[in-house]
Amino acid sequence: MAKAQQTLTFYQSVENYFEKAAPHTGLDRGLLDQIKVCNSIYAIHFPVEIRDPKTGKTSVKVFEGYRVQHSHHRLPTKGGIRFSNHVNQDEVMALATLMSYKCAIVHVPFGGAKGGVKVSPKDYDEETLEKITRRYTYELVRRNFIGPSIDVPAPDYGTGEREMAWILDTYRTLRENELDAAGCVTGKPVNQFGIRGRTEATGRGVFYGLRQACDHVEDMKKLKLSPGIAGKRMVIQGFGNVGTYSAQISQGEGDALIIAVGEHDGYIYDEKGIDIQKLIAVKKETGSIMNYPASFKSKPEDREKVLELECDILVPAALEEVINVNNAKNIKAKIIGEAANGPITSVAEEILLKKGILIIPDVYLNAGGVTVSYFEWLKNLSHMRFGRMDKRYRQQGREGIIGLVESMVGRKVPEDMVHKFVKGADEVDLVRSGLEESMINSYNITRNIMKEKNIDMRTAAFVNAVQLIGQDYQSMGIFP
């Protein structure tokens, strides 16, 4: 039996989580089967002409790509596009499925989707990556798998603002008269219809989720930890966009103690804490975190051992299935915050739960990205920057309050206090506020279900999501 469990695919793990939650939802089996299945799967192979930068010769290479729309209970569908050599249909199906549940949990009105191209970005220059991205987008447009009211991609592993800008430009070229074309993709550069706060969104959402978990005195007492995130010893596995912002914000705003950071070429450890701002600078300058002057540096082959370090909070922020049946028994963290998608297999999770570890699941914790993507999409459809209508009005009102206070007390309020109080909300302030509200409310709802039904947090999150999606289907009159 153990051998069979070890061969579970990512998608099978997600299905296992679904089935574990299903009995607690109270929904009919037919409705559950409809919610569970991926509605549309588009697998493509497309040619791209590639020029060898050394010889100047050109050749044609065929790339493998996917776009999966898991659920159409809400439209448009929403989900990232990843560029990786590990992309396959099973992985994209699993990620699309998680997106449906993720959107439901944070009350973002999208169905779930995901896309990917089997390509390693580091193997190609910018010109070639642009060709790949534009051709992939063309294929999506041709099959009606992209559009502001159909399916809205976003960045994921191996992609970023640059690729989203290429997608937008390609879409607008093919749909030149579409008024809301900017809403066809999110995660765009701010000067190309993007939104401030999107780049940091997933990592900031991770921080809000971890902070909220640590603020529950009862739960921390059970783990023999003091309340609050301040001073908690944290380990970050993966120092890309999500891992970097999770660490930076947890340290800068939460006063967490980052004791270890792991990457593909090893991990660094320092029990006194790692200066994340300095680490970011070192990586930017040298290309590796291993050049940071830490008290301990591992060998590249021991990079996965970072997951097994003793700590209060472990944040896997890289790829899926890094915690599995082979290393689950060695995990010493008291809290695991899943910043990455699917970092724990369903079999490994059973081992971790028996050890009393609190697992804050990916389907909730890394939903910051799609939450702020929703804000960007709304901005694109409204054709207006957040805060434009009322920032000055609110600022003037506060200035009036300060003037009244000064006239009553007979003295001036210090300038720094005036500026802090009077300043109207910029777009990024509103985005962060909306994200914080979403993450706090969603955590509390999930925790209440967990307590009420005496189940683990991932199962509670799935119960919440499946019930919400089920309500949508029932409102359509398709299911009783």
Tell me which CATH code domain 41-192 carries. Answer: 3.40.50.10860
pTM exceeding 0.85? yes
- Strands 313-316 and 233-237 come out as parallel
Name the segment(s) of the chain with CATH classification 3.40.50.10860. 41-192
Can you tell me the distance from the alpha carbon of 362 to that of 458, in angstroms, rounded to the nearest whole number?
A: 8
Which pLDDT score, from 0 to 100, does residue 421 have?
A: 67
> Distance between alpha carbon 447 and the CA centroid of its chain, in Å?
20
Exposed (0-12), middle (13-18) or buried (19+): which is 394, by Cβ within 10 Å?
Answer: middle
Can you tell me the distance from the alpha carbon of 369 to that of 199, in angstroms, rounded to the nearest whole number?
A: 8
Which pLDDT score, from 0 to 100, does residue 419 have?
A: 67
The one catalytic residue among 114, 188, 283, 379: 114
Which pLDDT score, from 0 to 100, does residue 372 have?
A: 96
Can you tell me the distance from the alpha carbon of 401 to that of 442, in angstroms, rounded to the nearest whole number?
A: 35
Token readout for 8 is: 């579970």
Can you tell me the distance from the alpha carbon of 358 to that of 214, in angstroms, rounded to the nearest whole number?
A: 11
Contacts 24+ apart (CB under 8 A), 167-170: 167/81, 167/133, 167/134, 167/137, 168/192, 168/193, 169/134, 170/133, 170/134, 170/137, 170/138, 170/141
Give the pLDDT of the chain (480 residues) as one tens digit per residue.
334 445 788 899 899 999 999 999 999 999 999 999 999 999 999 999 998 777 778 899 999 999 999 999 999 999 999 999 999 999 999 999 999 999 999 999 999 999 999 999 999 999 999 999 999 999 999 999 999 999 999 999 899 999 999 999 999 999 989 999 999 999 999 999 999 999 999 999 999 999 999 999 999 999 999 999 999 999 999 999 999 999 999 999 999 999 999 999 999 999 999 999 999 999 999 999 999 999 999 999 999 999 999 999 999 999 888 999 999 999 999 999 999 988 999 899 999 999 999 999 999 999 999 999 999 999 999 988 776 666 665 767 676 777 777 677 777 877 777 666 667 678 898 999 999 999 999 999 999 999 999 999 999 999 999 999 999 998 877 666
For 134, 149, 264, 375, the CA distances from 179, given in Å and listed in that order, are 21, 12, 43, 18
Name the segment(s) of the chain with CATH classification 3.40.50.720. 198-387+425-480
Can you tell me the distance from the alpha carbon of 151 to that of 145, in angstroms, rounded to the nearest whole number?
A: 6
Residues whose CB is less than 8 angstroms from the CB of residue 454 and which lie 6 or more positions away in sequence, other chains included:
none
Q: In what order do the strands lie in the sheet with 233-237?
A: 296-297, 266-269, 257-263, 233-237, 313-316, 335-337, 358-360
Which pLDDT score, from 0 to 100, does residue 401 have?
A: 76
CATH topology of domain 198-387+425-480: Rossmann fold (3.40.50)
Can you tell me the distance from the alpha carbon of 298 to that of 459, in angstroms, rounded to the nearest whole number?
A: 35
Question: Please, where are the H alpha helices in 121-193?
Answer: 126-142, 161-174
- 114 catalytic per annotation: yes
